Amino acid sequence: MDLFRPQAAPAEWLVIATAVAALAVTVPRRVWLLARNAITIAHEGGHALVALATGRRLQAITLHSDTSGLTVTRGRPTGLGVVLTLTAGYTAAPLLGLGGAALLGAGLVTLLLWAATALLLAMLVMIRNAYGVLTVLVTGAAFLLVSWLTGPEVQALFAYAVVWFLLLGGVRPAFELQFRRRRGGAPDSDADQLARLTHVPAGVWLLFFHTVSICCLIGGCRWLLPF
């Protein structure tokens, strides 16, 4: 298996169809409540990856059935490391989507699928609750089965659908947080914790999350769309 062998992109209408399919699981509330688990995996995985990259000690990750999650790290309670770790949550899914779009733009479908599988397996080691283990196992199994048992065409369609979902689904959580905060909820959200650490208002951090997700969506479209 050559991870770096380029694959031809699907037909134009199939690329657009995968975008429509991703949108169909992002917009309707009932479907989104289930699909959002995948965005939570990316969110908490982003916290974990940046925590390790900045020298913090990763202790545990939990994923809950209400699509919330928690990543516990140990290290200095202030400083750049903890700020970057908190910033990584809401930006993780859009940035992963952008990276995936770049790989698909280069035709590297196989590399994308196996990289995603490896990240999920690495995350599984740190999951500390049953629902989280189940969620990551099911997600990882989907990538593994598609990678092993399907042909290049199906693999490409699956990869495009996943990347579109990360890009489109990565936009919605920041808006959900904004609405909760307007109603007085989520007092310990990532934006509020960042505000307390940096003395920069939570609204500015929300604007940052919005900017990253929308810019990633625009950039991803340039790689994915056939025109």
In a domain, 6, yes or no: no
Distances (CA, A) of 114 to 1, 121, 182: 11, 11, 40
SS3 53: helix
Cα(90)–Cα(177) distance, integer angstroms? 10
pTM of the model: 0.96
Question: Which of these, 65, 57, 50, 54, lies nearest to 190 by C-alpha position?
Answer: 50
Structural domain for 107, as ranges: 12-224
Q: Please tell me the total count of domains within the chain.
A: 1
Contact (Cβ atoms closer than 8 angstroms) between residue 212 and residue 94 = yes
In a domain, 3, yes or no: no
DSSP state of 94: H
SS3 59: strand
Give the pLDDT score at 143: 97
Cα(157)–Cα(97) distance, integer angstroms? 15
Give the pLDDT score at 227: 66
In a domain, 1, yes or no: no
In a domain, 122, yes or no: yes
In a domain, 190, yes or no: yes
Give the pLDDT score at 1: 60
In a domain, 65, yes or no: yes
Give the pLDDT score at 2: 73
> What is the token pair recorded at 156?
């490409």
Give the pLDDT score at 3: 82
In a domain, 205, yes or no: yes
CA atoms within 13 A on the CB side of 149: 6
Contact (Cβ atoms closer than 8 angstroms) between residue 83 and residue 75 = no
Contact (Cβ atoms closer than 8 angstroms) between residue 57 and residue 73 = yes
Rounded to the nearest 10°, the torsion over CA 70, 75, 77, 79 is: -110
DSSP state of 4: T
Q: Per-residue confidence of the chain (227 residues) as pLDDT tens digits?
A: 678 889 988 999 999 999 999 999 999 999 999 999 999 999 999 999 999 999 999 999 999 999 999 999 999 999 999 999 999 999 999 999 999 999 999 999 999 999 999 999 999 999 999 999 999 999 999 999 999 999 999 999 999 999 999 999 999 999 999 999 999 888 899 999 999 999 999 999 999 999 999 999 999 999 999 66
> What is the token pair recorded at 221?
């479209």
Question: Which of these, 85, 76, 75, 83, lies nearest to 45 by C-alpha position?
Answer: 85
